[in-house]
Amino acid sequence: MADVVDKATRSRMMAGIQGRNTKPELVLRKALHARGLRYRLHYKGLPGRPDLVFPKFRAVVFVHGCFWHRHEGCRFTTTPTTRPEFWAQKFEQNVLRDQRTLAALEESGWRTAIVWECAIKEHGGEQVGDKISDWLIDGHGSLVVPD
C-alpha cells in the first residue's frame, strides 16, 4: 500500500515527533508535582536519559510511547505497511536498547518504572500518579504501568 502523503510531507511529519516533553509525560509530571514529588528531567548522567529521575528515592521513570517502544498487546502498537523490514529492525533495536538501559540502571542500584502512554490515556494522570507515588514511597522493586 502506498503512503497517503508525499515523501516531503511524511519527512516533515516524522521530524516533528519529539522524544521528550510529550503530552503523556507532561500529564504525569503535573500529577506527580501536585503530590509534592520533585524530580529531575532527562538526566544525562544516567543510562537512557530517564524522563523523570527521583534522586531522593534512587528511582527513575520512563514514559514510553506504545508505538515506538512496542507495548505488547496494546492497540496503539501498530506497524506501518510501507517498508516493513525497516520498521521491524527499527522496533527491534528500540526494544533491545530499552532492555540494556533498564539492566544498566538496575545494576547501578536504581529502581525503574515504565509508564506506557496508553495507561495515561486510559486512566488519566491522577491514577497513574498515585501508582508512581505509592511505588516511590514503598521503596521496592521495579514497576510497569499498566501491569
Domains of the chain, by residue range, sit at 18-145
pLDDT: which is higher, 104 or 4: 104
Whether the pLDDT of residue 90 is over 80: the answer is yes
| pTM: predicted TM-score of the whole model, two decimal places | 0.88
Quickly state the pLDDT bin for 2 (edges 50, 70, 90). low
Question: Over the stretch 110-124, which tens digit does the pLDDT of each residue have?
Answer: 999 999 999 999 999
114, 88 Cβ separation under 8 angstroms: no
Q: Which candidate, 65, 72, 79, 78, places its Cα nearest to that of 25?
A: 65
115, 62 Cβ separation under 8 angstroms: yes
CA–CA distance from 57 to each of 37, 40, 78 (Å)? 10, 12, 35
CATH 3.30.1340.10 fits 18-145, yes or no: no
How much is the mean pLDDT over the chain? 92
